[in-house]
Structure 1
């Protein structure tokens, strides 16, 4: 078999050298010269020795086809089980918390600007039912696409991507905690 491979490589290289000898590329070494399409139909038939008889199969030397760009890989199927969606490394917890933090941060700043109450006063003066209601509605609205098997990445295009939403949610979580901490330390509302 080793002799067969050596013979094939010798025959192919000699065919390639002869096929590529055009007036334009005679000065180039054989290893650099372009491969001609005329040698693409060159067939090599090789047989093994007596004790290693295998049926002879014709092989053809063909040009390597140009590789197209990487094809888009289909996104892996997302599990629609609620336990997988709400798992610690699942797709829903950070997104839901980020969405709640974005709404909470903007609402806290709006109420501070309108009424002058800090975050702790807002929670103490009837803010808990608003918080629970908003959390329930946003959680259900966020879970419905996940339960249907729609991934967030499939709908993210342009400026508003799924990564941008994650980072905005992370910053809103940090902002809400920083707002509450700053108001606690200063003893009053920020605005």
Structure 2
């Protein structure tokens, strides 16, 4: 506010600016200002005349600062490949293998139920045991081979397809299989 007041006072006090008597007033209540043309106004350059050049002082570059070496990321900790560590209760294999089997089992059970109309218990009793055992052996071996080679599941986990997502999907599939079998048992017929 003070700056605008100062600017307005300097405009009104300037002798080169005059307010005409019949001028109109703008929206702020300030009369329109007209500037007088001063024909005798000259502009002079304030630049210095060329002087003899002085010897240049050599400029030494600043001492070079060597970049600090970036620390090399520590290698990921080595995963134990001992049989007892891989298949321990809190090891990487048991829940993952059970979850993978449950995911395949749930999808297969629902597909057979929709296609043929057999419930989970009927599928197992009508020749489903060899299929279950064969699938279990193949998936268990496929899951254990990388773990025995020292590859962790977290190292292959990126973005949307993370190792945690696989664990949660496996847990939901296990619950789904139990719920499907229990519902069919209580109901006495297939779910679909």
Q: What TM-score, normalized to structure 2?
A: 0.61
More helix by share: 1
- Name which one, 1 or 2, has greater alpha-carbon Rg: 2
User: Structure 1: how far apart are the matches of 2:150 and 2:176?
Assistant: 31
Structure 1: give runs of 5+ residues left out of the alignment: 1-67
User: Structure 1: how far apart are the matches of 2:175 and 2:75?
Assistant: 34
Q: Give CA deviations for 1:92-146 in whole Å, capped at 9, x if unaligned.
A: 0000000000000000000000110000000000000000000000000000100
1:174 aligns with 2:175: yes
Q: Give CA deviations for 1:38-81 in whole Å, capped at 9, x if unaligned.
A: xxxxxxxxxxxxxxxxxxxxxxxxxxxxxx9xx96643211101
Return the offset for 1:83: 1.4
Structure 2: give runs of 5+ residues left out of the alignment: 1-69
Equivalent residues in 2 for 1:77-96, closer than 5 Å: 77-96=78-97
* 2:116 corresponds to: 115
Equivalent residues in 2 for 1:5-84, closer than 5 Å: 74-84=75-85
* 1:29 corresponds to: none
Q: CA RMSD in A?
A: 1.7
Q: What TM-score, normalized to structure 1?
A: 0.62
State the SS of the aligned residue for 1:99.
helix
State the SS of the aligned residue for 1:141.
helix
Number of paired residues?
123
1:154 aligns with 2:143: no
